[in-house]
Amino acid sequence: MPIYKIKAFSKWAKSEGMSDENIAQAVQEMNNGLFEANLGGNLYKKRVATGGGGKRGGFRTLLAFKSDEKAFFLYEFKKNARSNISDKEAVALKAMAKELLGYSPDKLKDAVDAGELIEVKGNG
């Protein structure tokens, strides 16, 4: 199942020590029905562990997700920084989720080639 990070998420994940392995594990859990919240419009909240710490010290992520099809990591925040996103942010992220999940294989390839999306390695 292909997993992608938008450019801003990828930059943030790297700076925080969130590995592709952590991200792939989170998506596997999602495929098994384990997530914190379904926000509607294929937008989900999922906690992801980082480095040597578990999920308790990890991050909250928001992703566009279709079970066993594809996933796009869109947004992140530390648990102690904020508890949730605003309604306005939710609307924008749901629109982004709809667009990304509708991408054709050619459009996905173009977005990866342009550096707009980064494919998570080692998730197969």
Residues whose CB falls within 8 Å of the CB of residue 1, separated by 6 or more in sequence, listed in order:
27, 31, 68, 69, 70, 71, 123
pLDDT given for residue 16 in this prediction: 83
- Token pair of 78, please? 């530390």
Residues whose CB falls within 8 Å of the CB of residue 62, separated by 6 or more in sequence, listed in order:
39, 43, 44, 45, 46, 73, 74, 75, 76, 85, 93
pLDDT given for residue 51 in this prediction: 61
- Cβ(68)–Cβ(35) below 8 Å: no
Per residue in 75-123, pLDDT (tens digit) is 987 766 666 788 999 999 999 999 999 999 999 999 999 999 999 986 6
pTM: 0.90
> Is residue 40 over pLDDT 80?
yes
Per residue in 53-81, pLDDT (tens digit) is 555 557 889 999 999 899 999 998 776 66
